[in-house]
Amino acid sequence: MPYKPPTPSPSPPPQSPSPPQTPTMPQHSHHRPPNFPFLFPKAQSTVLPDPSLFLSPSLLSSPLPTNSFFQNFTLKNGDQPEYIHPYLIKSSLSSLSVSYPSQSHNSSFIYQVFVVDLTISATNKTDPNPGKSHVISSYSDLSVTLDMPSSNFRFFLVRGSPFLTCLITGNTEITISTIHAILSFSSSNSLTKYTVKLNNNQTWLIYSSSPINLSHDLSSITSEGFSGIIRIAVLPDSDPKYEAILDRFSSCYPISGDASFTKPFCLEYRWEKKGWGDLLMLAHPLHLRLLSSKDSDVTVLDDFKYNSIDGELVGVVGDSWVLKTDPVSVTWHSIKGIKEESYGEIVDALVKDVEGLDSSAITTTSSYFYGKLIARAARLALIAEEVNFLDVIPTIRKFLKETIDPWLEGTFGGNGFLHDDKWGGIVTKQGLTDSGADFGFGIYNDHHYHLGYFLYGIAVLAKVDPAWGRKYRSQAYSLMADFMNLGRRSNSNYTRLRCFDLYKLHSWAGGLTEFADGRNQESTSEAVNAYYSAALMGLAYGDTHLVATGSMLAALEIHAAQTWWHVKEGDKLYTEDFTGENRLVGVLWASKRDSGLWFAPPAWKECRLGIQLLPLLPISEVLFSDVGFVRKLVNWTLPALGREGVGEGWKGFVYALEGIYDKEIALEKIKNLNDHDDGNTLTNLLWWIHSRGDEEEVGWEGGGKFSWFGYYCH
């Protein structure tokens, strides 16, 4: 990402991308204030791309995805690849190229290599428009449909389908070319299946809905005129035992897929399918962990597997899956509580930290750094409640009002929130003319990070001052809906779940920037903070729907962080050289894993640990619930603290994790710090250490120790 933090603050910049569609959180009408829904003032950005380049005119009246798995198809020339598991897909010149990617790797990064294995195009294109080789005619949580008007092609790109599916109309002659050499080519008697062996050890199967005459030379396959469905699949490892499975499921094809929140901590996938027979899809490792066989009519084909940077993709038969996660409690205060004998030390720090609150001394106009200062102060109010020292709350409340009100009222001098109609969402004043301002917030980068900090402050202020909460409820919900909107209505002001990817089950941060490796996310903990803060806001407003949705998304984000960002010794998910050298991924991309950060090289391990932990909250305990992993992570990081110039703020986060298994040593180190991250305080670090339980506990399984949900809600 081109943006760097404006100052060498001990605090990280967030980062880059995420998913799909439309409206505001369903509310009970008797709660709605008269000015609901609130919209920030409309603004015209000079830096946002034009959505009409590749999106069908019928889609342009609704808010559009700005962080989705297919975002590259909407940007610049629309010709950068996207990872539609298990294939990398690239569209250009009215043709579509598909790659079953291999991986290139060393101890610093892993990435999937895009090699054009096959390109599907019309032999005679009509009126090719070089500037617009495809049109996105529809999209959903789990799919995107690409039309190629000059080729009479419609590609149903459904995530997790082992087949690439294309509907061909108009008796069109097709060409399938490859950069490899065709070693052998054979057909079934019915001419509805062809087997193509290439000199890169790949075998591809081509299926058709009716007989098709294909002929070939060294590197291309051509047909006579054809109308119907063509499906193409790579045979994993060219292993013949998989071929019968692909044959069996070749006649049932998905055209779209949706995910819905059916009940708390439960997500259901449903695919719309055509053809006949059962639907075969692929599940990544987290799907398999959460897939509820009790609630889903599915069959898992354990030894039918495709390779992926996300871990092995395993065959699942069935057109509806139910994914269930253990409940996670969203709490204002620490999960385990604090012993009364520790109150004094926390109160001493609290008094000093609250004395230091001065809204007039804030110099930053950045929505990110300003949001961190708001959330930092809000933490102090909740800690004050927990240690029963309420004297400081009026001062904190005054500070929160002075810092939050100007952003909600549009009176903040240097910056402010505005509404962009072009894509449908909130942008900042600074971001209207500078795509790098506010870490790219104006081009939809990092929305959940920035707004998550604001929501945290709003939730706490609405809790301690309900009258203020009622007054600004509409503005608060507008900020929340920008990245948490669940609906799909065309009359909505916001896209559906702007950052959260309902197939990968985590957020992306990268906004409307074209990246060869797809979307990316750096800080999982700031993503967790966003959904956690939304759930807290639900608690403050008595909105059970928002509590349930925020808690669910936080739980999924935590699972995903533990699956893909937390690198465990001996784990087989990533290559040995990368796993041996890393305990955390720095930036995770759709098609790459990087040990570096946007703002720091791989050697700065304390930054990598900090950016996956901050802000330090009660929910952090769930994110880092595997004590054995935490110990290894801290031991991996500690040597980096010997480097010259390591920021005290970053050290604080390392010591906080050390406190999970060694309270006394961590406490000593924390007391010797002379500075803190701009979103953290000595009070918060002491609160964290003193709220650690005495016993070592491992893992977040069964949810019991982190959730009261199961006791009261069945």
Catalytic, out of 526, 543, 606, 658: 526
Using CA atoms, how far apart are residues 268 and 261, in angstroms rounded to an integer? 6
Amino acid at 184: S
Contacts of 179-184 with C-beta under 8 Å, sequence gap 24+, read 179/115, 179/116, 179/117, 179/219, 180/117, 180/219, 181/218, 181/219, 182/216, 182/217, 182/218, 182/219, 182/221
Could you tell me where the DSSP H helices lie in 291-443? Answer: 343-355, 367-386, 393-409
Catalytic, out of 501, 522, 626, 677: 522
HEC-encoded secondary structure of 167-212: EEEEEEEEEEECCCCEEEEEECCCCCEEEEEECCCCEEEEEECCCC
Mention every residue, 6+ apart, whose C-beta is less than 8 A from residue 467: none
Specify whether 576 is catalytic: no
Using CA atoms, how far apart are residues 187 and 207, in angstroms rounded to an integer? 10
Contact 250, 244 (CB under 8 A): no
- What stretch of H or E contains 155? strand 153-158
Using CA atoms, how far apart are residues 111 and 65, in angstroms rounded to an integer? 25
Phi, psi angle pair for 130, to nearest 5°: -60, -25
Q: Helix, strand or coil for residue 536? A: helix
Distance set, CA 612 to CA 10, 12, 431 (Å): 14, 10, 26
Mention every residue, 6+ apart, whose C-beta is less than 8 A from residue 691: 334, 335, 336, 337, 338
Using CA atoms, how far apart are residues 673 and 678, in angstroms rounded to an integer? 14
Specify whether 312 is catalytic: no
Catalytic, out of 82, 141, 386, 446: 446
Specify whether 217 is catalytic: no
Tokens at 578, concatenated: 């990368």
Active site residues: 446, 522, 526
